[in-house]
Structure 1
């Protein structure tokens, strides 16, 4: 009988310790996010930086697109909704590339995988590869696909998670006419 109580007390202590550790981890993550400048992504605020080299070898820097609306789309080759929306994004970009810029960001795939994907799906726009997830982290991407509209002044104007199914959704996100 004493053994059972002692076992339960030990188990309760372990569970309590684990709960404290989880709370500390959550608090530390929150503190770190707010203190390192990643904490304030919100509509109306300046969009987080995105920079790197895309699959065509060109330098991409969000700051270079000031003065134009920008669509930032995070995706991965293993994400079925992402795969389904890519032809729509490509077609819309081909039709209206004079009215907005596109930064397509692949999260987690290798350059080879991305290039094979683009070729297999006949996608014409270059893609920035975010193998480490740093850009996705700055935008607090929690699910894919994730799409963000940045206004001409560089502020986040709209955000959405999930598959885009119609060109009108893209135009509405960007607040431009079809």
Structure 2
């Protein structure tokens, strides 16, 4: 579920490239990466969906963070870390890039500057 109460299912996103980012409000590298994710969200076409999953955070903490950092892409709550575990996430930040067929294609552990050339290439390759 996201902060607005919507349930998300990756299978509903087939046909789009998905940037699935696992993060936490208490994680300094995650906080550092968030503006780049927002910039990515603000600049991509409709064929790319940025979604973040807040791991082991309370809903009020995530709401405060989203408001103060002006995050406008979907933020899902994973208070117990169950979703992160199912995706094999061992540390945050971790991002999984999912192709248009719904298959995970790349896993990145650590921060990424999503407006740089290399990450743009990753996404472009998945768009084809």
Q: Secondary structure at the match of 1:64?
A: helix
User: Who is 2:34 aligned against?
Assistant: 86
Q: Where does structure 2 lack aligned partners over 5 or more consecutive residues?
A: none
Q: What stretches of structure 1 move > 4 A for 4+ residues in a row?
A: none
Report what 2:92 is aligned to: 144
TM-score by length of 2: 0.90
Distance 1:103 1:92 in 2: 11
Is the 1:71–1:150 Cα contact (8 Å) retained in structure 2?
yes
The higher radius of gyration belongs to 1
Higher relative contact order (CA 8 A, sep 6+): 2
Give 1 or 2: higher strand fraction.
2
| TM-score, normalization by structure 1 | 0.66
Q: Which residue of 1 aligns with 2:80?
A: 132
More helix by share: 1
Paired residue total: 125
Question: Structure 1: where are the runs of 5+ without partners?
Answer: 1-52
Please point out which of 102, 121, 128 is paired with 1:172: 121
Q: Tell me which residue corresponds to 2:59.
A: 111
**Residue 56 of structure 1: CA displacement?**
1.9
Moved more, 94-103 or 149-158: 94-103
Q: Does 1:123 align with 2:76?
A: no
Task: Spell out, residue by residue over 1:130-170, the C-alpha distance to the aligned partner (whole angstroms, 9 max, x if none).
Answer: 01111110111111100010001111111110011241344
